[in-house]
C-alpha cells in the first residue's frame, strides 16, 4: 500500500514509522513547518534515508493510495486540506476528532465532503483511538452480545504524566485551574474533543434516535501535591481534565461516555452494558493513546479501498447492529 502523510507532527511521524514497519511505501509527507521542509522523512524518524522529503506541496500526495491526515481536531479548520486530497481521487483516513461523526457539529460540511468524495471516487473516514474506537466502536462490539440493551457506559482513564508534553498543555496541567477553565471556554485549549461524537456513533450502531446529547468538561485541581512519572503538580494547581458525553431518549440517559486525563489517574478503559436479560462488563489495563491511534488509522486504511466512495463512519465497518430496548 502506498501511503501519504498529511501533517508530519507527532501522530504523523508515528504513523509513518508504523507504516514503514508494516512494509508500506511512503510516497509523500506534507507539512507547513519550515524547520523540516526538504528533510528526508526517514532521517527525521531516525531510521535512515528513504528518499522522500517533507514538502508543503499537497499535490505530492496524489500518488498515494491512502493519505493519513493528522493536522487538527475541528472539521471546519481542516476541510480544505481534506478536500484538496479528495479532488485528486485519493482516499483519506483522518484523525480529526469531529470527522468521526461530522453530522453533529458540521452537517453542511459533512454533506459537501460526502458529495465531493463520491464525485472523485474517494473514501473519507475519521477515526483514531478516541473517538473512533475505545468509547464507541469497541462499545458497539461488546454490546452486540447482549440481546436487549437498556444502557451503556464507557470510561477511559489515563495518567496525563505519561503522555507527551503537547497533550499535557492542551489539558492545562500545572496551571491555575480557573485560568484553564476560562481557556477551555474560549477554545484556546481543547481538552478532549469527541464526547458527543462517540455518543452518536454508539447510537447509530443501534439505530437509536436520541432526544438530546449533553457534553461537559472541567478541570481536576490537585487537592494535595501529586507526582507521577516525573511530573509534579503542586496543591491547588490543575492536574488535568475530566468530562463526559451523555445521550438521552426522553429524560432517560441511555448512553454515557467518560474521559478522565489527569496526573496520577489510573490507567484503564471500562465498558458496561446493561441489558434486560443480562449485563456485561469489560475492563482493560489502559491503551497507549498515540500508538493506539495510528494503529487504528492504518488498520482502517487497509479497508478503505473496499468501501464505496463517499464519507464513511466507523459504524460502516461493523458487521452487525446493537439492539437497544429503551
- Report the alpha-carbon distance of residue 288 to residue 11 in Å, rounded: 12
- Report the alpha-carbon distance of residue 180 to residue 237 in Å, rounded: 10
- The HSE-up count of residue 16 (CA atoms within 13 Å, CB side) is 29
Render pLDDT for 229-252 as a digit per residue (tens, 0 to 9): 999 999 999 999 999 999 999 999
pLDDT at 320: 94
pLDDT at 45: 98
Render pLDDT for 180-194 as a digit per residue (tens, 0 to 9): 999 999 999 999 999
pLDDT at 14: 98
Domain boundaries, the chain: 2-127+294-317, 137-286
pLDDT at 236: 98
- Integer angstrom CA distances of residue 245 from 99, 131, 154, 235: 17, 12, 10, 28
pLDDT at 146: 98
Q: Which CATH architecture has domain 137-286?
A: 2-Layer Sandwich (3.30)
Render pLDDT for 108-156 as a digit per residue (tens, 0 to 9): 999 999 999 999 999 999 999 999 999 999 999 999 999 999 999 999 9
Render pLDDT for 32-52 as a digit per residue (tens, 0 to 9): 999 999 999 999 999 999 999
- Integer angstrom CA distances of residue 83 from 51, 74, 79, 256: 27, 14, 6, 33
Tell me the pLDDT of the chain averaged across its residues.
Answer: 97
pLDDT at 180: 97
Give me 65's grid cell.
Answer: 493510495
Instruction: Band the pLDDT of 56: cuts 50, 70, 90.
Output: very high
Q: Which CATH architecture has domain 2-127+294-317?
A: 3-Layer(aba) Sandwich (3.40)
Burial of 38 (0-12, 13-18, 19+ CB in 10 A): exposed
Instruction: Band the pLDDT of 308: cuts 50, 70, 90.
Output: very high
- Report the alpha-carbon distance of residue 127 to residue 130 in Å, rounded: 8
What mean pLDDT do residues 259-270 have? 98
What mean pLDDT do residues 271-280 have? 98
Amino acid at each position: 500500500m502506498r501511503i501519504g502523510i498529511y501533517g508530519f507532527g507527532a501522530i504523523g511521524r508515528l504513523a509513518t514509522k508504523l507504516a514503514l514497519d508494516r512494509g508500506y511505501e511512503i510516497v509523500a509527507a506534507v507539512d507547513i513547518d519550515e524547520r523540516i521542509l526538504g528533510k528526508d522523512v526517514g532521517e527525521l524518524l531516525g531510521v535512515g534515508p528513504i528518499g522522500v522529503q517533507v514538502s508543503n506541496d499537497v499535490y505530492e500526495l496524489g500518488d498515494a493510495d491512502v493519505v493519513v491526515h493528522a493536522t487538527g481536531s475541528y472539521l471546519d479548520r481542516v476541510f480544505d486540506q481534506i478536500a484538496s486530497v479528495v479532488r485528486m481521487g485519493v482516499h483519506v483516513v483522518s484523525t480529526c476528532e469531529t470527522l468521526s461523526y461530522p453530522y453533529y457539529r458540521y452537517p453542511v460540511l459533512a454533506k459537501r465532503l460526502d458529495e465531493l468524495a463520491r464525485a472523485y471516487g474517494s473514501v473519507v473516514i475519521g477515526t483514531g483511538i478516541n473517538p473512533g474506537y475505545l468509547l464507541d466502536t469497541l462499545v458497539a462490539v461488546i454490546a452486540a452480545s447482549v440481546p436487549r440493551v437498556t444502557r451503556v457506559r464507557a470510561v477511559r482513564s489515563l495518567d496525563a504524566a505519561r503522555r507527551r508534553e503537547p497533550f499535557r498543555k492542551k489539558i492545562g496541567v500545572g496551571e491555575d485551574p480557573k485560568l484553564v477553565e476560562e481557556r477551555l471556554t474560549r477554545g484556546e485549549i481543547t481538552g478532549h474533543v469527541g464526547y458527543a461524537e462517540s455518543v452518536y456513533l454508539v447510537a447509530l450502531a443501534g439505530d437509536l434516535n436520541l432526544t438530546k446529547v449533553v457534553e461537559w468538561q472541567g478541570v481536576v485541581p490537585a487537592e494535595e501535591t501529586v507526582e507521577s512519572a516525573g511530573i509534579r503538580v503542586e496543591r491547588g494547581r490543575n492536574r488535568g481534565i475530566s468530562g463526559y458525553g451523555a445521550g438521552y431518549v426522553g429524560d432517560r440517559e441511555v448512553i454515557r461516555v467518560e474521559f478522565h486525563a489527569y496526573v496520577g489517574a489510573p490507567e484503564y478503559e471500562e465498558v458496561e452494558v446493561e441489558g434486560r436479560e443480562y449485563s456485561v462488563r469489560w475492563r482493560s489495563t489502559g491503551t497507549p493513546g498515540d500508538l493506539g491511534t495510528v494503529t487504528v488509522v492504518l488498520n482502517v486504511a487497509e479497508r478503505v479501498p473496499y468501501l464505496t466512495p463517499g464519507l464513511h463512519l466507523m459504524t460502516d465497518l461493523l458487521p452487525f447492529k446493537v439492539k437497544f430496548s429503551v
